[in-house]
């Protein structure tokens, strides 16, 4: 177990500087264009693939960093460049992690390369979990997967929503209900191969922010996939369902749900790091503007009203990063989140991003309200952090119930 430290080692600093350079030289110059186009920035993704950032190997290296700081460091730098483009680059990782965490060696070797494609022919993947009536309440999921034993196929029906890369993905990972009586323990994940009949893109959402990231519904109508596309395999699923049924009888449904909710804690610091990146970007623009913008014969940073805002912005950003780093280190060190530290980091960082970007717009005044300056886009992008991967309200609920010992429903 790595000791906790707030100092990056030389290798981490080198990786950080490399990612920052790509964000500054490639992502930022393209940010305004793809935000306006509201389209997937394929050329930028291809550039990321050519240099090795858009690849399973890159994310695996950061994920297995023994300090736990590899992922949050990478997320902060990419999202410092631009949230919409960065989400297009990292979105495939959600599906890849799903396969890595639950799949067999054969599934990992077969499907993850197809998610990324090659630098000359990049592909993307989609992780499909949320539904129109099942967002924060994952137990309300309705998409069903029924096993056809005679054909050794699973048949999927339902509608997924808010899917990053949904419909345009080469490979879709779909979470579906296999046993409704077990709540979230009755869910399983499935690989839907390219060009599978019955899967189609539904509504593509025109969003307030992160507009360079493709977000859409995914419609599943009698989608038939081979039995081998069940992540982990049928035998493992049957064993897990049997154990869940026994635990449900012994402990009641609430504890079954608690175990599922706890698994989300480990992924939330990464979203917190994204929020830190956006907040830091807006703060830096505001700081530079305040230093160079003169009114009444002096830079506006000489005014306490502006200077104190910048002081608060920097303090909050640093505090958010520390919460993210603590939770990330705890996760890799195997330390339990006894106070919902994962949710704390995501809650605080996402709220900081919204506040800091709003303050940046205010400091720039009329200029901040125009698209000539990036803080307007950053402010729109920051709104997503308090919504996805669990809303701020859900984070507060998780934290409060964890502290009180009450069940997390």
Catalytic residue set: 389
210: left (phi over 0), alpha (psi -120 to 50) or beta: left
Where b means 16+ CB within 10 Å and e means fewer, 346-375 reads bbbbbbbbbebbbbbbbbbeeebeeeebbb
The pairing of strands 153-164 and 125-128 is unpaired
Please give the structure tokens belonging to residue 263: 């698994």
Distance CA 103, CA 109 (A): 10
Q: Of the candidates 367, 370, 379, 372, which has an alpha carbon nearest to the alpha carbon of residue 293?
A: 367
Distance CA 92, CA 259 (A): 26
Distance CA 386, CA 263 (A): 19
For residue 399, give every residue at least 6 positions away whose Cβ sits within 8 Å of its Cβ, in sequence order, or none.
339, 340, 343, 344, 347
Distance CA 92, CA 89 (A): 7
Q: Decide: helix, strand or coil at residue 328.
A: helix
Contact by Cβ (8 Å): 153, 188: no
Please give the structure tokens belonging to residue 293: 């913008």
For residue 129, give every residue at least 6 positions away whose Cβ sits within 8 Å of its Cβ, in sequence order, or none.
138, 141, 160, 175
Answer positive or negative: Cα dihedral of 368, 372, 378, 384. Answer: positive
Residue in the structure block whose two tokens are 């599978």: 196
Distance CA 172, CA 156 (A): 12
């Amino acid at each position: 177990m790595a000791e906790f430290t707030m100092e990056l080692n030389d290798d981490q600093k080198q990786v950080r500087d490399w990612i920052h350079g790509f964000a500054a030289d490639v992502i930022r110059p393209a940010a305004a264009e793809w935000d306006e186009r509201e389209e997937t920035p394929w050329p930028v993704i291809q550039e990321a693939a050519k240099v090795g950032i858009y690849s399973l190997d890159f994310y695996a290296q950061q994920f297995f960093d023994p300090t736990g700081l590899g992922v949050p460091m990478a997320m902060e730098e990419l999202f410092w460049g631009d949230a919409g483009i960065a989400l297009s680059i990292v979105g495939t990782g959600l599906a890849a992690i799903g396969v890595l965490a639950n799949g067999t060696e054969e599934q990992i070797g077969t499907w993850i390369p197809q998610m990324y494609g090659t630098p000359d022919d990049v592909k993307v993947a989609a992780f499909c979990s949320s539904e129109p009536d099942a967002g924060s309440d994952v137990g309300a999921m309705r998409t069903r997967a029924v096993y056809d034993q005679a054909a050794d196929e699973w048949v999927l029906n339902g509608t997924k929503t808010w899917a990053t890369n949904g419909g345009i993905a080469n490979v879709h990972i779909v979470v579906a209900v296999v046993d409704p009586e077990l709540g979230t323990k009755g869910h399983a994940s499935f690989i839907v191969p390219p060009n599978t009949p019955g899967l189609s893109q539904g509504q593509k959402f025109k969003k307030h922010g992160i507009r360079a990231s493709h977000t859409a519904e995914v419609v599943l109508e009698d989608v038939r996939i081979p039995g081998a596309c069940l992540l982990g395999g049928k035998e493992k699923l049957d064993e897990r369902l049997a154990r869940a049924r026994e635990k449900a009888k012994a402990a009641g449904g609430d504890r079954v749900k608690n175990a599922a909710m706890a698994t989300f804690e480990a992924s939330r610091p990464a979203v917190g790091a994204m929020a830190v990146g956006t907040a830091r970007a807006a703060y830096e623009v505001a700081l530079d503007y305040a230093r160079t913008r003169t009114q009444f014969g002096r830079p506006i940073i000489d005014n306490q009203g502006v200077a104190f805002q910048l002081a608060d912005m920097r303090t909050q950003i640093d505090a958010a990063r520390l919460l993210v780093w603590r939770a990330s280190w705890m996760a890799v060190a195997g330390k339990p989140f006894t106070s919902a530290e994962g949710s704390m980091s995501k809650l605080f960082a996402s709220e900081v991003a919204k506040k800091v970007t709003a303050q940046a717009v205010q400091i720039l005044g009329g200029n901040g309200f125009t698209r000539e300056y990036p803080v307007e886009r950053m402010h729109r992008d920051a709104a997503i952090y308090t919504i996805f991967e669990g809303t701020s309200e859900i984070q507060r609920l998780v934290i409060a119930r964890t502290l009180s010992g009450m069940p997390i429903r």
